[in-house]
Amino acid sequence: MRKLRFLTACIVICSMTLTFVSASEVQSPKIVFADSEDAQAEETSVQTEKLFVEYEDGENNVKDWLDAIEGFFSVSAIEETNASAAFQEEVLRTWFIEDTTFVSIRDFVERNYPDAVFTYDNGKITVSHDGFYMEFVEGNIYYYVNGRILPLTRPCFESDGCFYVPIRALAYIYSYDVSWDEPSFTATLNENGKVLLSGEEFYDYDDYILLAKLIRAESGNQPLEGKIAVGNVVMNRVKNSSFPDSISGVIYDRRSGIQFTTAYNGSLNAKPTEECLVAAKLCLEGYSVTDDSLYFFNPDACSGSWIRNNKTYVTKIGNHVFYS
């Protein structure tokens, strides 16, 4: 009996090793949705108690080290079984590109919302269900959801009729935290209970519009990255103790002379373009292309001698150079 149990334990060890090796060779990431840890732990505890039923082997020996080994692998098997049930492993089409896991947006959404409505046209996919509306555009560094404009770690793309989105973008929308396990090539999603606010709830409208107008006045002819960089300067100043602590305070600041000429020459009266509105929302979401910059100027329009002589160069984006 002991030999049989020992052989069984060895077989389990070998099979676990083989499973690990094969899992490491998987190329497409796996995605699992975790249930509550408390429920999983309780189920494991109940089943584990059932395992340790005392027995006698004829010599009145109850539980020796071999029992511990058998019990360990039995518990491991139960935990693995519970994980398979609790994690509700799904077959989702995925792609792994340069440290980012992408998932089919249709597969992901339809898992919980089979009645979701999808439209696809010329590189843009929209999804709507139960008060949600979201929009992803192939190649963009941002996406729309319920009036919010949120940044993407990497742009979406379409392949073989399937539209792929970074897993963390969808996790943010649907209130999941994502943990990545490199050996198993698995992204695990745990519900975090955080409700995604709509644009009306999240943005202060006056701040949003004022920032968009300033971006248009200062960088309306610049690429999106250049527009975001100008907005970053405003937001960086808001967070810096040397400047006013509000967007309007920073834009209209003149304690050491006018900081933004466009704030006083009528330029802010112009209606911001769609891209300026996008840039403003991305800045308000915390997206940054130049974290440290507090100053900028266009060297083709002015010398910027004071900034050059007194501040630290950070980067050049479009026609502007940025300093901290």
| CATH 1.10.10.2520 residue ranges for the chain | 203-323
Identify the pLDDT of residue 58: 54
Q: Contact at 8 Å (CB) between 174 and 193?
A: no
pLDDT at 280: 98
Dist. CA 298–CA 89, nearest whole Å: 53
| Sequence-ordered list of residues with C-beta below 8 angstroms from that of 263, at least 6 positions apart, any chain | 214, 217, 251, 252
> Residue 25 — φ and ψ, nearest 5°?
-90, -5
Closest among 314, 304, 305 to 233, alpha carbons compared: 314
Contacts of 14 (CB under 8 A, 6+ apart): none
Q: What is the CA radius of gyration of the chain?
A: 28
Q: What is the largest CA-CA distance in the chain?
A: 98
HSE value, Cβ hemisphere, 13 Å, CA-based, for 200 = 1
- The burial class, CB within 10 Å (0-12 / 13-18 / 19+), for 142 is buried
Of the candidates 247, 239, 228, 246, the residue with the CA atom closest to the CA atom of residue 288 = 228
**Residue 66: its pLDDT value, please?**
47
Predicted local confidence at residue 39, as pLDDT: 34
List, by residue range, all CATH 3.30.457.10 domains of the chain.
Answer: 94-199
DSSP letter assigned to residue 257: B
Per-residue pLDDT, 28: 87
Per CATH, the number for 203-323 is: 1.10.10.2520
Predicted local confidence at residue 304, as pLDDT: 83
- Dig out the tokens for 23 from the structure: 């899992």
pLDDT tens series, the chain, 324 aa? 444 444 444 434 444 433 333 333 436 899 999 863 543 544 455 455 545 544 455 555 555 544 555 555 555 554 554 444 444 455 799 999 989 999 999 999 999 899 999 999 999 999 999 989 999 999 999 999 999 999 999 999 999 889 999 999 999 999 999 999 999 999 999 999 999 999 999 999 999 999 999 999 999 999 999 999 999 999 999 999 999 999 999 999 998 888 999 999 999 999 999 999 999 999 999 999 998 999 999 998 888 889 999 999 999 999 999 999
> CA 274, CA 280: separation in Å to the nearest integer?
10
Look at the alpha carbons of 228, 231, 235, 240 in this order and tell me if their dihedral is positive or negative.
Answer: positive
What pTM did the predictor assign? Answer: 0.75
List, in sequence order, the alpha helices (H) in the chain. 2-24, 37-51, 65-86, 105-112, 167-173, 199-202, 205-219, 224-239, 247-251, 274-284, 305-310
Q: Check residue 104 and give its pLDDT.
A: 96
Which CATH code fits 94-199? 3.30.457.10
